[in-house]
Structure 1
């Protein structure tokens, strides 16, 4: 189960790490507006807008992965295949952010599908 717990920790940290390029983009626009960061984020274009989307999607994806982990652990279905799916999810999420930041939109969509399929497979295999 330690692989699943480590993947859970990494998945929880990924949205915060995805914030770094967003904060950098905001800082490029005359400084980071800590009083109204969301308003500033909505005005971003190009890289900044993609960084915002990657950051937001990291939180959205975390919910599905957390449910998958809860199901696997609750059903006591820990196995090597679950570890592999969890690691694959983490790798896919990192690649997803990179593709978003560098505007590789078609590859990003493919990687998103992989990152979505991993927790769905974890849940399905727990039945």
Structure 2
């Protein structure tokens, strides 16, 4: 006896947490000073810079994804497709983070583009339902 929650709503929670996880490995370094977590010198190059950039982009991508899910569901889009596109978005964002960490710019851009297009699909889903 519970409320059924769409998979896409759970994906909102995951998408909100992903940016934090993107930077987390860079904070595991013994040089990380938690009393100065935003020290620009710590984040200026290499893996640390890429992890921080992945985090920043995750925070940038989240609002469009969230609005897309809310609009898609709220305007009567097909829940089956919204859920699948939302899961696809999450998987692509995980690939995006991995590509950022491993300095694979072309693959990262491909993952970003596909994730962006999945948001477009979610947002416009009421038009093709």
State the TM-score, normalized to the length of structure 1. Answer: 0.86
| Aligned twin of 2:83 | 83
Please list, as runs of the form range in 1=range in 2, the aligned pairs for 1:71-110 lying within 5 A after superposition.
71-110=71-110
In structure 2, list runs of 5 or more residues that go unmatched: none
Answer yes or no: is the 8 Å Cα contact 1:86–1:118 preserved in 2: yes
After the TM superposition, which parts of structure 1 deviate over 3 Å for at least 4 consecutive aligned residues?
40-43
Following superposition, the deviation at residue 37 of structure 1 comes to: 2.2
Aligned equivalents of 1:106, 1:123: Cα separation in 2:
26
| Aligned twin of 1:51 | 51
RMSD value, Cα: 1.7
Following superposition, the deviation at residue 70 of structure 1 comes to: 1.1
Q: Paired residue for 1:12, among 16, 24, 29?
A: 16
Would you tell me which structure has more helix in proportion to its own residues?
A: 1
